[in-house]
């Protein structure tokens, strides 16, 4: 069941008393981020499977707000432009207030909550371009949801990704090379974050290809499961 709220989640909210069965509701992304800041190579086993070196500092990139979709919405496979689209299940941190130059020890003050993310990536374009922007910036390549969990210790959560029900990724957020407070300090030393902005914390090993017709789910302990099917863009 879903309970309806009044007000803005980054201000104050009140329960209206209305409730709806989950199955009868179409979910949209639980925020409209002004930006999605993502971190690459933040799990050692994924760094290894990609043949990369462990970074000495977090590797930061941006996904455009136009790439965001919600739970149950379709990932559009841009056929003709890429021949390899991969899932990357990730823990997403949702920022609750305008902040800059946040020390790691105060990072929890700027976190509104957590959700599941899929950092969908055209792997062939990522390799060809070096810059990640095109490969990770297609419309629909940033599923977020199904909702924001605001009361959670995110330091050691199980994260799994399945494709058509088959387990493909299994990690724990305790394996992050750079933990969430370190990432928030690193990112906010560069750019101001706004309420609703999203930080993707990286993906564990097991990334692999999607094809139209697939159903991909990212599940995180204490949050829920984000499921999206893949369709051809045209």
Stretch that binds its own copies, among 55-63, 89-97, 163-171, 207-215 (CB under 8 A): 55-63
Considering only residues 198 to 227 of the shown chain, the ones binding its own copies according to CB under 8 A are none
Indicate which single residue of 9, 10, 28, 34 sits in contact with its own copies (rule: CB under 8 A). 34
3-state SS, residue 134: helix
Nearer to its own copies by Cβ, of 44 and 60: the residue is 60
Query: Binding to its own copies by residue 10, rule CB under 8 A?
Result: no
Alpha helix stretches (DSSP H) within the chain: 44-49, 123-129, 133-137, 180-188
Query: Binding to its own copies by residue 232, rule CB under 8 A?
Result: no
Indicate which single residue of 78, 181, 212, 224 sits in contact with its own copies (rule: CB under 8 A). 78
Site string for its own copies, 122-141 (x = CB under 8 A): ------xxxxxxx--xxx--
Nearer to its own copies by Cβ, of 16 and 131: the residue is 131
Query: Binding to its own copies by residue 182, rule CB under 8 A?
Result: no
Closest approach of Cβ 149 to its own copies, in Å?
26
Given a contact cutoff of 8 angstroms between Cβ atoms, the answer to whether 155 and 202 are in contact is no
Going across the sheet that includes 208-210, the strands are 121-122, 85-87, 208-210
> Token digits for 140?
């629909």
**Nearest of 231, 198, 199 to residue 213 by alpha carbon:** 231
Nearer to its own copies by Cβ, of 118 and 217: the residue is 118
> Token digits for 63?
């996904």
Q: Enumerate long-range contacts of 129-138, CB under 8 Å, 24 or more apart.
A: 132/40, 132/61, 133/61, 133/62, 135/82, 136/38, 136/61, 136/63, 136/67, 137/63, 137/64, 137/67, 138/67, 138/76, 138/78
Indicate which single residue of 29, 30, 31, 35 sits in contact with its own copies (rule: CB under 8 A). 35
Indicate which single residue of 27, 28, 60, 104 sits in contact with its own copies (rule: CB under 8 A). 60
Nearer to its own copies by Cβ, of 68 and 116: the residue is 68
Q: How many residues does the chain have?
A: 234
Q: How far apart are the C-alpha atoms of 209 and 30, rounded to whole Å?
A: 26
Considering only residues 92 to 121 of the shown chain, the ones binding its own copies according to CB under 8 A are 100
Closest approach of Cβ 108 to its own copies, in Å?
22
Measured at the alpha carbon of residue 65, what is the angle toward residues 184 and 38, in degrees to the nearest 5? 35
Indicate which single residue of 191, 209, 213, 222 sits in contact with its own copies (rule: CB under 8 A). 191
Q: How far apart are the C-alpha atoms of 159 and 200, rounded to whole Å?
A: 13
Which parts of this chain interact with its own copies (CB under 8 A)? 34-35, 37, 40, 57, 59-62, 64-67, 78, 81, 100, 128-134, 137-139, 189-194
């Amino acid at each position: 069941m879903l309970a309806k709220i009044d007000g803005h989640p980054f201000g104050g909210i009140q329960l209206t008393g209305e409730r709806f069965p989950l199955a009868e509701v179409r979910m949209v992304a639980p925020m409209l981020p002004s930006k999605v800041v993502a971190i690459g190579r933040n799990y050692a086993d994924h760094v290894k499977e990609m043949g990369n070196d462990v970074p000495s500092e977090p590797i930061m990139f941006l996904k455009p707000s136009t790439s965001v979709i919600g739970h149950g919405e379709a990932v559009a496979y841009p056929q003709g432009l890429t021949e390899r689209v991969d899932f990357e299940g990730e823990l997403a941190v949702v920022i609750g207030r305008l902040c800059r130059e946040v020390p790691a020890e105060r990072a929890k003050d700027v976190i509104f909550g957590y959700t599941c993310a899929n950092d969908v990536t055209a792997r062939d374009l990522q390799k060809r371009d070096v810059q990640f922007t095109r490969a990770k910036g297609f419309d629909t390549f940033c599923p977020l949801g199904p909702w924001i969990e605001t009361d959670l210790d995110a330091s050691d959560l199980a994260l799994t990704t399945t494709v058509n029900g088959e387990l493909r990724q299994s990690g724990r957020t305790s394996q992050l090379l750079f933990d969430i407070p370190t990432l928030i300090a690193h990112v906010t030393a560069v750019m101001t974050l706004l309420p609703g902005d999203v930080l993707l914390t990286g993906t564990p090993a097991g990334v692999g290809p999607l094809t139209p017709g697939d159903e991909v789910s990212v599940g995180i302990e204490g949050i829920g499961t984000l499921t999206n099917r893949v369709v051809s863009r045209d």
